[in-house]
Amino acid sequence: MTLPQYAMGTQYDEKMASRPREETVHGEERTRRKKHRALLPMIVALAIIYFTTNSVRRGLHHDHHAGRGEVGQAVKTALDVGYRHIDDARVYRNEEEVGAAVFESGYKREDVWLTSKLWNDHHDPRDVETLNTTYLDLFLIHWPIAFNRDGSVYNKELTDDPFPTWQKMEEMVAKGKVRNIGVSNFNIWRLSKLLSHPNITIPPAINQVELNFYNPQPGLLAWAKEHNILIEAYSPLGGDGQVGRTLNLPVVKEIAAELDITPAQVIISWHVQRGTVVLPKSVTPARIEENLQVTRLPDALFEKLEAAAVGHKPQRTLNPSESWGLPFDLFE
């Protein structure tokens, strides 16, 4: 059974979708917070699977980039096979190419969901509002670590208290420059601290994190669900060095054979069934299309894969704490 291209188990509120946008971003504080929480299903109404333009990231520093035009063509392919969510970031250095690809694809801007992320050296409120588009559907704080404006590590004040950055993002929502705001790579402690700020008016809609078989994060998933924060999974098939291992796991291959689907489709379907938005990455047309095919796993098979995933010590592949010279682990 093929799942519809919206969040399984997430109800899309058509009444909410038909309301004027201004109604969802203005008004008394409590009403605004309530309405922005109600916007969460809209984030995945078009497609549960994002196409990420960070197609060739290897580690943090992006040492290997796709050739000129390769990402743009991959975006066009993704749109043609059914993707409607494009995940980008300033640090991927391809926003112009991605924007041109969306424009040239012929799809209406309102039919494509664009996400971008604020890089570490732009946490200063004076720098937050520098966008390369008329509006974004979703804008995320890329990492909870703020750099200084000159790029040096790190700005302790804005790292300890990200609210000044967040408040500027709230203002961007009010101005119509951004439709929804969220975070990335935040742990429960950092999310709790932001949510508990007395002046917050718009809670994070999304937390985008490394999430896969080897780093399943069941505690974060449960906590986020309780607080109406949607989790997006990047590196869903595994981080660097893990993808091949993931796709060759006996439990994954067994489920793939039983359901007559590929191992990659097993893993992506598992993510969707957990209630997460998935961010696969590829510049290969066949693989782009393959990653969009989602199947409902029978409960017994889903539970079998879930038990295997949470039954081992978590293995995170992307943690820049040491390379940034931080005096602490940003995930602890």
Find out whether 233 and 281 touch, Cβ atoms under 8 Å.
no
Task: Respond yes or no: is residue 92 known to be catalytic.
Answer: yes
- List the catalytic residue out of 92, 154, 214, 234: 92
Secondary structure of 181-195 as H, E, C letters: EEEECCCHHHHHHHH
Nearest to 309 by CA among 233, 224, 249: 249
Nearest to 268 by CA among 11, 22, 50: 50
93-100 CB contacts, 8 Å cutoff, 24+ apart: 93/62, 93/65, 94/53, 94/65, 94/66, 95/132, 95/133, 96/132, 97/68, 97/69, 97/71, 97/72, 98/53, 98/71, 98/72, 99/132, 99/133, 100/72
Peptide bond into 135 cis (omega under 30): no
Q: Which residue has the tokens 């040492």?
A: 63
Burial 39-60 (b: 16+ CB within 10 A, else e): bbbbbbbbbbbbbbbbbbbeee
**Helix (H) and strand (E) counts in the chain:** 15, 8
Q: Looking at the annotation, which residues are catalytic?
A: 92
